């Protein structure tokens, strides 16, 4: 009787559940962490972009990014508990990257006194008004997109605005770009990154232990 061809059965159940070594665990967790940080950076910057389309697209990708990160964590650990911590930590990092745009504008932005051309307001959920204004630079050119304002300035009023020289980030009112708040923003950004590092480290340890336990159980069952 011819011997069975095992070329397509080389990866048995025990092979697939072979425990990870620390090197493999570090590589897997490191790739997940770096990918998460890269996505957080791109989405955080996109959410503060000068383009409204990019902002909406970044928001959608941010929701999906948190869900995908949580799914990967669940697969690695074979546990459900990483769902909410991973989603929340990923979204927190995205928000802090977006907030750190104020840090960039404070260091590299161009501060100008713009003239209000027109304003538009909408009723906010909290009952107040959410207003945006079209602004004109001192040289007469219009700032590309509307700028969110706290109240409803009249046409002809002057407001302090900080622009991104590269044109990537949306302009902000000068009152929002306060250099005194930059240390707080910097600290929150570091905390958000630290949370992701710790979380993915725990996920790697739990995932490695889970695979070792499952591999041992499978080996005992096969030996019976």
Using one digit for the tens of pLDDT, what is the confidence trace for 129-155?
Answer: 778 889 999 988 888 778 888 777 888
HEC assignment per residue over 29-80: HHHHHHHHHHHHHHHHHHHCECCHHHHHHHHHHHHHHHHHHHHHHHHHHCCC
Buried b (16+ CB within 10 A) or exposed e, 57-71: ebeebbeebbebbbe
Distances, alpha carbon 18 to alpha carbons 9, 15, 32, 79, 182, in Å: 15, 5, 20, 18, 48
Query: Which of the four pLDDT bands, split at 50, 70 and 90, describes residue 9?
Result: very low
From the CA atom positions of the chain, what is the Rg in Å?
Answer: 25
DSSP element (H, E) containing 133: strand 129-136
**Amino acid 179: pLDDT:** 80
Give the span between the Cα atoms of 155 and 169, in whole angstroms. 24
pTM of the model as a whole? 0.73
Q: What is the pLDDT of residues 32-41, one digit of tens each?
A: 999 999 999 8
Nearest to 82 by CA among 165, 169, 199: 199
Over residues 85-112, the mean pLDDT reads: 89
What residues pair up with 147 in beta bridges, in sequence order?
A: 133
Give the span between the Cα atoms of 46 and 25, in whole angstroms. 31
Name the least confident of 88-97, 123-132, 190-199.
123-132
Helix, strand, or coil (residue 6): coil
Give the span between the Cα atoms of 66 and 84, in whole angstroms. 9
**Amino acid 219: pLDDT:** 59
**Amino acid 4: pLDDT:** 43
Over residues 101-110, the mean pLDDT reads: 86
pLDDT greater than 80 at residue 217: no
User: Is 46 within 8 Å of 78 (Cβ atoms)?
Assistant: no
**Amino acid 14: pLDDT:** 45
């Amino acid at each position: 009787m011819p011997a069975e061809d095992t070329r397509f059965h080389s990866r048995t159940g025990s092979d697939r559940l072979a425990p990870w070594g620390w090197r493999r665990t570090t590589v897997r967790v490191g790739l997940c962490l770096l990918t998460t940080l890269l996505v957080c950076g791109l989405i955080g910057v996109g959410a503060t972009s000068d383009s409204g389309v990019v902002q909406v697209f970044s928001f959608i990708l941010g929701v999906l990014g948190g869900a995908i990160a949580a799914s990967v964590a669940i697969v690695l650990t074979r546990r459900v508990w990483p769902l909410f911590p991973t989603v929340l930590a990923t979204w927190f990092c995205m928000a802090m990257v977006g907030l750190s745009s104020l840090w960039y504008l404070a260091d590299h932005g161009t501060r100008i006194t713009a003239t209000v051309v027109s304003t538009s307001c909408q009723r906010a959920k909290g009952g107040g008004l959410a207003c945006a204004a079209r602004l004109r630079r001192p040289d007469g050119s219009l700032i590309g997109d509307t700028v969110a304002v706290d109240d409803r300035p009249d046409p002809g009023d002057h407001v302090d605005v900080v622009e991104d020289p590269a044109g990537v980030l949306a302009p902000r009112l000068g009152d929002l770009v306060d250099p005194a708040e930059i240390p707080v923003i910097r600290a929150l950004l570091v905390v958000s990154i630290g949370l992701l590092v710790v979380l993915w480290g725990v996920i790697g340890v739990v995932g490695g232990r889970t695979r070792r336990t499952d591999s041992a159980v499978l080996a005992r069952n096969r030996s019976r």
